[in-house]
Each structure stands twice: as structure tokens, then as C-alpha cells.
């Protein structure tokens, strides 16, 4: 059996492990180690597995992950989420479907402080769903807004998935974070336009809020100005080159803590630190397992073989890109985002580079497809998380409520594929 065949068999075995419910960190580490053992022998396999994990996980740039995660938890325990939602409610509540629109803008605001989609969905569910229920909004619309709004945390910086992609693809993390700004804003605005149209056509879905005055709106801004300054400071320091992404993440975590201190109790601080450690440990465990497997794939030569086989096809680069994105749409129904990126990018990226597609553009598109997977059955993680908050709404209604958002997402992906310069507009002006 040649080395490429060993790689193909390992993928099949890995798939069986994942379908059986084995944790992705353990499944990838085991398959990678056994593959290295077959190809290189036990002692080299053990040495390569240990050194590859140690060498990569001690990379200074990876410190950005726990720092951005910490920033998000501090923002949550400081009550910033509720302030953002309340401000959006005061400014947009008078529109048709105003509370649903406020939920989208509130989720977009919280996404600028939280890089994890499921965490964003859980938090916004606790904040927005009771208010939507109180005003009699349709359950499918309400849960769809929260689940889809939560996905914006994977695109709007600071995004954990962008950091993971940048690490595995060896691309600039700062450029990737900046590249997510315009697609993230496009996502939020397109969701709002869709909701405006739906509520104008069917006002029975939920009423606008009456009686909001301009003094009410102006007073609501007081609770979010600090967070706005913090986000501009973090992303501005990356854009201007004053700070690296890791240093900017440190600024963000410290700034969120300063904002939280007046409103956060000691037990809240402790909970934020524990949840940061738990979330970071989970991510690093997945990264460690996949690193061993990716190291093994490098010895098989399978990524290069796939790139060559696609290169001989009489397809345009755009057609190949669309086919790959369609594959991600299917994978997103079964795999979590971090695992999907870590497993597929090392295999697919050589093909992408060979076709002349910008890796940063590809990274944004992949993260966009991961977002869709978070709200599509059978394994839409955001919907499952939301189920724990809205127990009176069936899973079927939640997924149906997400259908309109998936439709808008696919249109957005088509726009980004057709106009990739939108993605690169901010990174290309970045001061390096």
C-alpha cells in the first residue's frame, strides 16, 4: 500500500471514529499517531507527535485565543450584552419587526466582544428571547434571529475560527480578523433587510414598539460607549500596526475587565476565568490532536496528490471554489467549526493556492460556510444550544425559523465569491 493510499484509509477510519461519537481531539490524535507508526515506525512516530504538538502549541501567536475568549466572558459578566441589546431596542424597536432587528444588531455588537458563536447564541437567547416572548413575536422568527445572530461571532472580529484558520494556514491573523469586518456587516445588514421585508408583508409575526422617545434613545447609549471605544481600540491597533493581534487581544481582555469591575462580583470574575480556561483547553485539545494528524498527512503526500488531480480537471478556479464550498455546506451539517477547519484546510489549501485563489478570501468563505452549518440540521450547534434556553419551542420550529437566514447566507456567499475584493478591502490598506 503506497503512502497516499494509507492517507485515504486513515480518512475513512477517522470518519468512522467521528460517526461513532469519539471526541475529535482523541480521534485525530489516534489516527495520526497510528498512521505515523505505519509509515515511520513507533519511535519516530512518538517523537514527531510530541515535538509537533509542543512546537505549535507554544507558539506566541496562539495566546490570542484565550485572551479574546476572556474578553468575551468579561463582557458577558459585566452585563454589556444586555446594554447592547437595550440600546438596539431603543433605536430600532419602532421599525416593523423592531425587536427582531434589535436582536440582530445586539448580536452583532456582542460579536465584537465574543469570538464564539455558541456562546453568543446562548447569551443572546437569555437576553432577547424573554423580551420577544413578552411582545408576542412568532417563536420561529424569535429563535431564528437568536440562532442566526449568534453565528456572526464567527465572522465579526475577534473571531476564534479566524484565528484557528490563520494558525493552520500560516496566514496573517491580523489580516484575517480585519477581512471579516465587511462580510460581517454585510451579514447583519442583509438579515435586517430580510426581516423588514418579512414583517412588512406579515405584521402578525410581531409588533413594533411604540412610545420610544429621543431622550430614551440617547440615555441608552451611555451603557455601550465604553465597549465601542474598546472595540475600536483593539481593531484600530491591529489595523494601524501599533499592536500585534496578540497584544491587541491583551488590550481587549484588560479593557473588558476594567469595564466589568464596577458591575462584576468576585464570583462572576472567578466564573469568567474558569470558563475561559475550560473553553481554551477544549480548543487546544482539538488543535493538538489535529496537528498530529496533519503531520501524518504531510508524510502521505495526499494533499499534493489531491491538488494535482483537481488541476487536471477542465474547471475554472471559480467552479472548483464553488464545489469546495458546497462540500463545506455538507460537512457543516455534521462537524463542529473548529474541527472542520483544522481537518480540511491542510488538505484543500494546496489546491486553493495552486488555482491562484487568495488564502485570506478562502478563509473568510470557509468561515462563512461554517456559520451556515451552525444553523442547519441535523447538527446545528447554535440551535441545540438555544434549545437549552427556549425549552418550549420545538427543534423543528427552530430549524424552520433559521431557514430564511440560511437563504440570505447563501446569497451573501454568492456575493463574496463574485466580488472577493470586498473581503480584501480593509486588509489591503492595513499598515504592516
Tell me: the pLDDT tens digits for 57-72?
777 778 888 898 888 8
- Contact between 150 and 389 under an 8 Å Cβ cutoff? The reply is no
H-state helical runs in 20-112: 24-40, 42-57, 64-77, 80-92, 98-111
Q: What is the pLDDT of residue 222?
A: 84
Q: Among 169-178, 199-208, 293-302, which stretch is predicted with the lowest mean pLDDT?
A: 293-302
Q: What is the pLDDT of residue 59?
A: 77
Q: Which has the closest alpha carbon to 347: 31, 70, 11?
A: 11
Q: What is the pLDDT of residue 431?
A: 57
Q: Is the pLDDT of residue 378 over 70?
A: yes
Residues contacting residue 48 through CB under 8 Å, at least 6 positions apart: 36, 40, 295
Q: What is the pLDDT of residue 304?
A: 67
Higher-confidence position of 430 and 402: 402
Rounded CA-CA distance 432/427 in Å is: 10
Upper half-sphere CA count for residue 349 (Cβ side, 13 Å): 20
Q: Among 327-331, 336-340, 367-371, 412-416, which stretch is predicted with the lowest mean pLDDT?
A: 336-340
Q: What is the pLDDT of residue 198?
A: 95
What confidence category does residue 311 fall into, taking pLDDT thresholds of 50, 70 and 90?
low
Q: Is the pLDDT of residue 380 over 90?
A: no
Q: Cis bond leading into 377, ω under 30°?
A: no
Q: Is the pLDDT of residue 195 over 90?
A: yes
Q: Model confidence over 227-243: pLDDT tens digits?
A: 888 888 888 888 888 88
CA separation (Å) from 337 to 215, 331, 369, 375?
42, 9, 9, 12
Q: What is the pLDDT of residue 240?
A: 87
- Contact between 368 and 412 under an 8 Å Cβ cutoff? The reply is yes
CA separation (Å) from 169 to 32, 163, 164, 349, 354?
19, 10, 8, 7, 14
Percentage of the residues of the chain whose pLDDT score is greater than 70: 97
What confidence category does residue 139 fall into, taking pLDDT thresholds of 50, 70 and 90?
very high
What confidence category does residue 307 fall into, taking pLDDT thresholds of 50, 70 and 90?
low
CA separation (Å) from 414 to 132, 325, 427?
31, 10, 21
Q: Among 45-49, 194-198, 249-253, 421-425, which stretch is predicted with the lowest mean pLDDT?
A: 45-49
Q: Which has the closest alpha carbon to 395: 422, 377, 416?
A: 377
Q: Is the pLDDT of residue 218 over 60?
A: yes
Mean pLDDT over the full length of the chain: 87
Identify the residue whose cell numbers are 451552525: 374
CA separation (Å) from 271 to 117, 204, 252, 291, 352?
19, 41, 18, 30, 42
Does an H or E element contain 394, and which? Answer: none
Rounded CA-CA distance 87/218 in Å is: 9
Higher-confidence position of 103 and 378: 103
Percentage of the residues of the chain whose pLDDT score is greater than 90: 32
- The grid cell for 34 is 497510528
Amino acid at each position: 500500500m503506497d503512502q497516499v493510499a494509507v492517507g485515504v484509509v486513515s480518512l475513512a477510519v477517522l470518519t468512522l471514529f467521528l460517526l461513532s461519537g469519539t471526541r475529535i481531539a482523541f480521534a485525530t490524535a489516534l489516527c495520526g499517531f497510528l498512521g505515523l507508526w505505519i509509515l515511520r515506525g513507533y519511535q519516530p512516530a512518538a517523537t514527531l507527535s510530541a515535538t509537533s504538538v509542543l512546537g505549535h502549541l507554544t507558539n506566541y501567536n496562539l495566546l490570542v485565543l484565550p485572551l479574546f475568549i476572556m474578553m468575551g466572558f468579561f463582557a458577558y459578566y459585566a452585563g454589556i450584552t444586555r446594554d447592547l441589546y437595550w440600546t438596539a431596542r431603543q433605536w430600532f424597536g419602532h421599525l416593523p419587526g423592531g425587536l427582531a432587528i434589535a436582536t440582530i444588531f445586539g448580536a452583532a455588537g456582542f460579536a465584537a466582544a465574543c469570538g464564539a458563536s455558541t456562546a453568543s447564541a446562548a447569551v443572546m437567547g437569555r437576553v432577547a428571547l424573554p423580551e420577544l416572548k413578552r411582545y408576542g413575536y412568532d417563536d420561529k422568527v424569535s429563535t431564528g434571529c437568536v440562532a442566526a445572530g449568534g453565528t456572526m461571532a464567527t465572522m465579526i472580529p475577534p473571531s476564534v475560527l479566524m484565528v484557528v484558520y490563520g494558525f493552520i494556514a500560516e496566514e496573517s491573523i491580523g489580516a484575517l480578523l480585519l477581512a471579516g469586518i465587511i462580510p460581517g456587516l454585510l451579514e447583519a445588514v442583509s438579515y435586517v433587510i430580510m426581516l423588514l421585508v418579512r414583517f412588512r408583508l406579515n405584521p402578525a409575526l410581531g409588533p413594533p414598539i411604540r412610545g420610544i422617545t429621543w431622550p430614551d434613545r440617547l440615555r441608552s447609549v451611555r451603557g455601550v460607549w465604553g465597549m465601542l471605544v474598546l472595540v475600536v481600540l483593539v481593531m484600530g491597533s491591529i489595523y494601524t500596526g501599533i499592536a500585534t493581534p496578540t497584544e491587541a487581544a491583551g488590550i481587549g481582555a484588560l479593557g473588558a475587565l476594567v469595564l466589568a469591575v464596577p458591575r462584576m462580583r468576585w464570583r462572576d470574575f472567578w466564573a469568567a476565568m474558569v470558563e475561559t480556561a475550560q473553553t481554551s483547553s477544549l480548543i487546544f485539545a482539538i488543535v493538538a490532536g489535529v496537528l498530529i494528524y496533519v503531520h501524518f498527512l504531510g508524510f502521505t503526500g495526499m494533499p499534493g496528490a489531491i491538488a494535482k488531480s483537481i488541476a487536471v480537471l477542465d474547471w475554472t478556479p471559480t467552479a472548483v471554489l464553488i464545489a469546495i464550498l458546497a462540500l463545506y455546506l455538507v460537512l457543516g451539517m455534521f462537524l463542529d467549526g473548529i474541527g472542520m477547519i483544522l481537518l480540511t484546510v491542510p488538505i484543500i489549501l494546496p489546491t486553493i493556492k495552486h488555482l491562484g485563489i487568495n488564502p485570506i478570501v478562502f478563509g473568510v468563505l470557509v468561515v462563512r460556510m461554517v456559520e451556515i452549518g451552525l444553523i442547519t440540521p441535523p447538527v446545528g450547534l447554535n440551535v441545540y444550544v438555544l434549545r437549552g434556553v427556549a425549552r418550549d419551542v420545538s427543534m423543528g420550529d427552530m430549524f424552520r425559523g433559521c431557514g430564511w437566514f440560511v437563504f440570505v447566507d447563501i446569497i451573501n456567499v454568492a456575493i463574496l465569491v463574485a466580488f472577493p475584493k470586498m473581503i480584501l478591502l480593509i486588509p489591503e490598506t492595513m499598515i504592516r
